[in-house]
Amino acid sequence: MATLDGLPPLRDVIQRHGLDAKKALGQNFLLDLNLTQKIARSAGPLQDATVFEVGPGPGGLTRAILSLGAKKVIAVERDSRCLPALAEIGEHYPGRLEVIEGDALKTDFAALAPEGPVKIIANLPYNVGTQLLINWLLPSPDRWPPFWESLTLMFQKEVGQRIVADEEDDHYGRLGVLAGWRTDAHMVFDVPPQAFTPPPKVTSTVVHLTPRQNPLPCDVAKLERVTHAAFGQRRKMLRQSVKSLGGEALLVKAGIDPARRAETLSVEEFVRLANCL
Ligand code: SAM
């Protein structure tokens, strides 16, 4: 059967290369090229961009990104079984796909970034997705704005809700403060379990993040200390939860009522608190 991009259907690719999904690698594949194109399109125009993809697997999302005209895709995949299937895509799009076999958690993406706009698009393995996002939000050495222009990432919906959460939201916590401080983050659309092979237990969601050009000045380590303490005891009043950091005196210095709770503080207030440490 013909496909949108003239390459074989993903189901055939998976069968031919024996790519039965491995749970330990968070392998839940997307086989519908209309859906992978919808995800890639949420990253905005790709024509001039280099796209980093984590975990291309059999290549459904990779094919979508290339068919939408990305200048180049640099994909990091841990499972060597996927490399022959990805090589076929590379032949179909000569010079536009570079595959790096390795662990994305150990990859220095900033060092690989070429001149020009870089976007990151991925259907992330769930076991490492949050850590990868944190690595992109807190690059080492710390440099902001970062090397990437946008992140378009698939997460479990519950993680997506934590990323985009504001104060007073049940999902608001350390991740929401970090993402809200440095980026403008929103959920794009949900993807039901049955869209994946094999289907995961929960609904997924695509999140799109763009870097704030001038986030409020703050020392990352201090911000982490206050959010760690405050959300460590999220139901307690702040005078209790941030006691080890200075308690009531610190809160008064920052102009924050010590009787408030962590989940009521805006990102700006957390930054103020961190800056008073
Ligand atoms: N992009 C494909 C798709 O949408 O169908 C596959 C997505 S699947 C959810 C996650 C992929 O990430 C798998 O191909 C898996 O082998 C790969 N992976 C898992 N852990 C990884 C890691 N630490 N570094 C790079 N790739 C990893």
Per-domain residue ranges of the chain: 10-211, 220-275
With tokens 């200075």, the residue in question is 246
pLDDT in tens, 111-165: 999 999 999 999 999 899 999 999 999 998 889 999 999 999 999 999 999 999 9
Instruction: Give domain 10-211's CATH architecture.
Output: 3-Layer(aba) Sandwich (3.40)
Q: How far is the CA of 79 from the centre of ligand 1 (A)?
A: 8
Ligand 1 center to residue 164 CA distance, Å? 23
Q: Say whether 101 counts as a known binding-site residue.
A: no
CATH level 3 topology of 220-275: Helicase, Ruva Protein; domain 3 (1.10.8)
Determine if residue 30 is labeled as part of a ligand binding site.
yes
Atom of ligand 1 nearest to the CA of 103: 24
Largest CA distance in the chain: 69
Predicted confidence pLDDT, tens digits, the chain (277 residues) = 557 889 999 999 999 999 999 999 999 999 999 999 999 999 999 999 999 999 999 999 999 999 999 999 999 999 999 999 999 999 999 999 999 999 999 999 999 999 999 999 999 998 999 999 999 999 988 899 999 999 999 999 999 999 999 998 999 999 999 999 999 999 999 999 999 999 999 999 999 999 999 999 999 999 999 999 999 998 999 999 999 999 999 999 999 999 999 999 999 999 999 999 9
Residue 270, token pair as written in the block: 């957390």
CA–CA separation, 182 and 28 (whole Å): 29
The answer to whether 10-211 and 220-275 have equal CATH topology is no
**What ipTM did this prediction achieve?**
0.99
Please name the residue whose Cα sits nearest to atom 18 of ligand 1.
55
265 annotated among ligand-binding-site residues: no
The rounded distance, in Å, linking the Cα atoms of 245 and 96 is: 51
| Rounded CA separation 242/270 (Å) | 12
CA–CA separation, 4 and 8 (whole Å):
10
Expressed in angstroms and rounded, the spacing between residue 220 Cα and the centre of ligand 1 is 29
User: Would you say 275 is a known binding-site residue?
Assistant: no
The best mutation among 25, 33, 154 to test binding of ligand 1, ranked by most ligand atoms within 8 Å of the C-beta, falls on 25
Prior bond to 145 cis, omega within 30?
yes
151 closest CA partner among 123, 190, 192, 128: 123
Between CA 140 and CA 122, with CA 177 as vertex, the angle to 5 degrees is: 60
CA dihedral 115, 61, 77, 101 (to 10 degrees): -60
